[in-house]
Structure 1
Amino acid sequence: MWRLLEVFGGPSTAPEEIRRDIDNQEAQTRSNRRAVDKLRGFHGLAKEIIERGMEKDRNGDVEEAAAYYRKAIECIQEGLRIHVQPCEPDVATKRKEMLVWERAVKERLVDMRGQRNLGNYSTTKRTESGHRKLHVEHSRSSEAKEGRDRDASTSRATRSTIESSLLERKPNVRWEDISGLEEAKSSLMEAVILPAQRPELFRGLRAPAKGILLYGPPGTGKTLLAKAVAAQASASFFNVSSSVLTSKFMGDSEKLVRELFECARDKQPSIIFFDEIDSILSQRSADEHEASRRLKSEFLVQFDGISTSEGSVICIGATNRPQDMDEAVRRRFSKRIYIPLPDPKCRKDILAKLLRGQRTKITSREMQQLVESTEGYSGADLKALAHEAAMFPIRRLGSRVATIQESEVPPIQYCDFKEAMKVQKPTMRDVDLKGFRKWTEEFGMTG
């Protein structure tokens, strides 16, 4: 005991302080692990982008190769800016590799700029160091030609699938079909529709954003807003979801993205709508699947292509989980609009539209009570609630439902909604809404 006191100096540190120190150390450890995962993610993504660029380079597609190389440099520099404690054994190795890649890619860009006159790009002075350089072949062999022919055939097949599965030539959604959300409509009018109608007024500092993110609780009208914008702007509408990517283009999703943007450029003005974008372009991690990395790298390259052009192609993303989006992707969606749950006026309008054409027996006072009782319900929740309420008159008929005339079905009443609310609850919790408000304060704007 005395030896322990001699070594440790006795109980001079309060237990609370010890716990606080332990908590701080654990928090620092978790933070460093996240930083390490991010660094590994950028390392893997940069490697993937460089390999894609080298493939284009070997096939003689110098312009596309240069675009990949520039994107690789951006990815490397972003990864190197991450502050990581050198506690993991591979951190120093990965940082060193990224520095080597950056130098080699910059040297290759210098060569390409001299040979092809691709324009200015800020690079470091070329050096004859002992680092490994990018190996690039510029052969025009018959093997390369056959490869390009196969790529062209695949491209035509992919484009045909895009036009048949993703393209909605004329969405049939009007502003009036969407209840409330006046601020969001105004923001979208300013960002998309007015620039399409008066392009001469929206140049320079007034140039519209090429990426718009609609985020908020599920069932609040994000997809309807995107379709209404496309209809108002008379734009081609490409509706892309994670389910389409995984079912129709499993393993070839980056090819879909490449052809998708190319098709959108051909059919501009165009809007590419990414539904559930967080599941398609989520945050990078060390154990990320290779196909996911390829998809992200291709999206970043293609998005930067439309951002620097004068064309009329706009990306709109919708998500219920904005915090799960990749940081580089989030930055490219520079206009971020929060789509909230409907307010009382909006809920009343939604309920009125849902009950239009139905036999009802609900007084004005009961309608007001119903509006107040459905606080926290989304538009989709209200639709499900109305469906459930409409079933109660049918259920009360019992066996007579098989023979009764349609005109004899009892009307929907306020009591039916009250019963329906016992089983049809709102999908959002207060803690989820607090998360949206916090994210809006950090990155977004109220719609």
Structure 2
Amino acid sequence: MDDRLIDSLAAAVRATPDDLILRLHLAGLLVDAGREPEAVSHVATVLATEPGSPEALALMARAMSGPAPSETAAAPAAPAATPPSEDPGDDGTTGRGGFDWHAAESELDGAVGPMFVDGSTEDPGPAYDVRSAGVRLADVGGLTDVKKRLEASFLAPLRNPELRALYGKSLRGGLLLYGPPGCGKTFLAKAVAGELGAAFLHVSLADVLDMYIGQSERNVKELFEVARSSAPCVLFLDELDAIGGRRSLNRNSGARTTVNQLLTELDGVGSDNEGVFVLAATNHPWDVDPALRRPGRLDRTVLVLPPDREAREAILRTHLHDRPVERIDTRRLAKSTEGFSGADLAHLCESASEYALLDSVDTGQVRMIGMTDFDRALGEIRPSIGPWMETARNVALYANASGEYDDLAKWLRKQR
């Protein structure tokens, strides 16, 4: 066998490792050339993907039946009474090199499962983690206006089915939370699930996106099926602009069909979404496909703003609750952190704790966290929502013809 042909095929396999047919062809040539160990590795790769492939199993048998090269070289050439048959006999007992298959099978206690396949018959459980929320709206610091909006548009109709029926209030559709990053949109979604006593299923881009064609759409379908089977359940779509971005701006056909599948599941085509409450969050609602925000889908919108002064003080107290603090003026800190998001405040507390820890290490004497540590941290930390506000201001000024961002425009005017 020409080694140059084998080397060319090996290079092609390295370039396209998922081409199983090409890999099997290379393995066959390696077996014919007496290079069984190399062939075994390629066939094992194929069997890892397709355990029941007849071609791969046959090639594995051929590669494993011949003697290793070292044994062939060391063993003296013994004359055989009858030359070994290269092909199985009529009774199927011998193969390449005269291997006795019936004798080998008799040494096994039972059937042997395919290579690389777990023989366990236990149910692996659900593919996605559905858990209890564990928090309520009372655990959310500040955001009074947001809580009232959630209560009026989402929670009150759910808690009062008689009144809902009286006023003909429909529960179709979902709720979209939007606003600057780090302001508690995910925490609010968990709190809504806690208020409803429902399970909570957090869906991110990693749960949906897949490299293989059609798999992302199947992931979306499976996520909704898991939510329906766990009803009542809050299905939370995090970073909706990444999962359901504008199809008009996306040239990737896979991303476009994923959005189409998401629209189908939200409409409940072929399935009943009763008991599945869809919440979504995004920092950039203007990048979300408009079809996702039509009536019956994510048609209710709530702006989640950075915490006000009272909320900042409550957030600071929460983050300092389990830390060794001394004479911390949370009111002054709340006043000095105008424009900080909840994540910024958590970072502020973490930085102040680091200063106290390093000082304790340097002096060898443990001390409490004081205002001097916070003053040092405030000198270095700035609000992280500045870039978002620039983008939001442009949207509110030049892309708000429909009035859907009036609440955002009103808040931005106050910030001036």
TM-score of the alignment, normalized to the shorter chain, above 0.5: yes
For residue 326 of structure 2, what is the aligned residue in structure 1? 361
For residue 301 of structure 2, what is the aligned residue in structure 1? 336
Is residue 186 of structure 2 the alignment partner of residue 223 of structure 1?
A: yes
* AA aligned opposite 2:264: V
* AA aligned opposite 1:202: R
1:173, 1:228 within 8 Å by CA — same for their partners in 2? yes
Distance 1:285 1:248, change over 3 A: closer
- Cα deviations by residue, 1:293-335 (Å, 9 ceiling, x for unpaired): 1111111111111799572222111001111111111223111
For residue 215 of structure 2, what is the aligned residue in structure 1? 252
* AA aligned opposite 2:218: K
For residue 339 of structure 2, what is the aligned residue in structure 1? 376
For residue 265 of structure 1, what is the aligned residue in structure 2? 228
Shift of 1:205: 3.7
2:160 to 185, 188, 198: 198
For residue 345 of structure 1, what is the aligned residue in structure 2? 310
2:250, 2:256 within 8 Å by CA — same for their partners in 1? no
2:208, 2:220 within 8 Å by CA — same for their partners in 1? no
2:157, 2:169 within 8 Å by CA — same for their partners in 1? no
2:251 to 270, 280, 288: 288
Shift of 1:194: 3.0
For residue 242 of structure 1, what is the aligned residue in structure 2? 205
Q: Secondary structure at the match of 1:336?
A: strand
2:221, 2:261 within 8 Å by CA — same for their partners in 1? yes
- Cα deviations by residue, 1:35-58 (Å, 9 ceiling, x for unpaired): xxxxxxxxxxxxxxxxxxxxxxxx
2:210, 2:216 within 8 Å by CA — same for their partners in 1? no
Is residue 135 of structure 2 the alignment partner of residue 173 of structure 1?
A: yes
Distance 1:371 1:239, change over 3 A: same
Distance 1:327 1:165, change over 3 A: same
Percent identity between the two aligned chains: 32
Question: TM-score with structure 2 length normalisation?
Answer: 0.61
Q: Which is helix-richer, 1 or 2?
A: 1
Shift of 1:201: 1.9
For residue 121 of structure 1, what is the aligned residue in structure 2? none
Matches within 5 A, 1:275-424: 275-285=238-248, 288-305=251-268, 311-331=274-294, 332-362=297-327, 366-401=329-364, 404=365, 409-424=366-381
1:257, 1:298 within 8 Å by CA — same for their partners in 2? yes
Please give the alpha-carbon distance, in whole angstroms, between the structure 1 residues aligned to 2:318 and 2:225: 39
For residue 174 of structure 2, what is the aligned residue in structure 1? 211
Shift of 1:271: 1.4
For residue 434 of structure 1, what is the aligned residue in structure 2? 393
Q: Secondary structure at the match of 2:248?
A: coil
Shift of 1:291: 1.3
Distance 1:207 1:285, change over 3 A: closer
Please give the alpha-carbon distance, in whole angstroms, between the structure 2 residues aligned to 1:249 and 1:189: 41
For residue 102 of structure 2, what is the aligned residue in structure 1? none
Please give the alpha-carbon distance, in whole angstroms, between the structure 2 residues aligned to 1:349 and 1:326: 36
Shift of 1:336: 0.2
* AA aligned opposite 1:367: T
Q: Secondary structure at the match of 1:412?
A: coil
2:327, 2:370 within 8 Å by CA — same for their partners in 1? yes
Distance 1:428 1:310, change over 3 A: closer
Please give the alpha-carbon distance, in whole angstroms, between the structure 1 residues aligned to 2:234 and 2:246: 24
Q: Secondary structure at the match of 2:197?
A: coil
Which of 1 and 2 has higher RCO (CA within 8 Å, sep 6+)? 1
Q: Secondary structure at the match of 2:208?
A: helix
Q: Secondary structure at the match of 1:360?
A: coil
- Cα deviations by residue, 1:199-221 (Å, 9 ceiling, x for unpaired): 23213642235210000011111
Distance 1:330 1:428, change over 3 A: same
Please give the alpha-carbon distance, in whole angstroms, between the structure 1 residues aligned to 2:237 and 2:200: 11
Structure 1 vs Structure 2 CA RMSD: 3.0
* AA aligned opposite 2:330: M
- Cα deviations by residue, 1:175-207 (Å, 9 ceiling, x for unpaired): 232101122222223333333332232136422
Please give the alpha-carbon distance, in whole angstroms, between the structure 2 residues aligned to 1:431 and 1:210: 30
For residue 443 of structure 1, what is the aligned residue in structure 2? 404
* AA aligned opposite 2:315: I
Please give the alpha-carbon distance, in whole angstroms, between the structure 2 residues aligned to 1:192 and 1:237: 16
Please give the alpha-carbon distance, in whole angstroms, between the structure 2 residues aligned to 1:362 and 1:435: 42
For residue 186 of structure 1, what is the aligned residue in structure 2? 148
Distance 1:343 1:286, change over 3 A: closer
Please give the alpha-carbon distance, in whole angstroms, between the structure 2 residues aligned to 1:273 and 1:221: 13
Distance 1:319 1:160, change over 3 A: farther
* AA aligned opposite 1:341: P
Distance 1:426 1:217, change over 3 A: same
Structure with bigger gyration radius: 2
* AA aligned opposite 2:197: S
* AA aligned opposite 1:347: R
Please give the alpha-carbon distance, in whole angstroms, between the structure 1 residues aligned to 2:373 and 2:340: 17
Please give the alpha-carbon distance, in whole angstroms, between the structure 2 residues aligned to 1:306 and 1:377: 42
Shift of 1:426: 1.1
- Cα deviations by residue, 1:357-404 (Å, 9 ceiling, x for unpaired): 3222335xx433221110110001100110001111122234445xx5
1:214, 1:337 within 8 Å by CA — same for their partners in 2? yes
For residue 88 of structure 1, what is the aligned residue in structure 2? none
Shift of 1:247: 6.1
1:179, 1:346 within 8 Å by CA — same for their partners in 2? yes
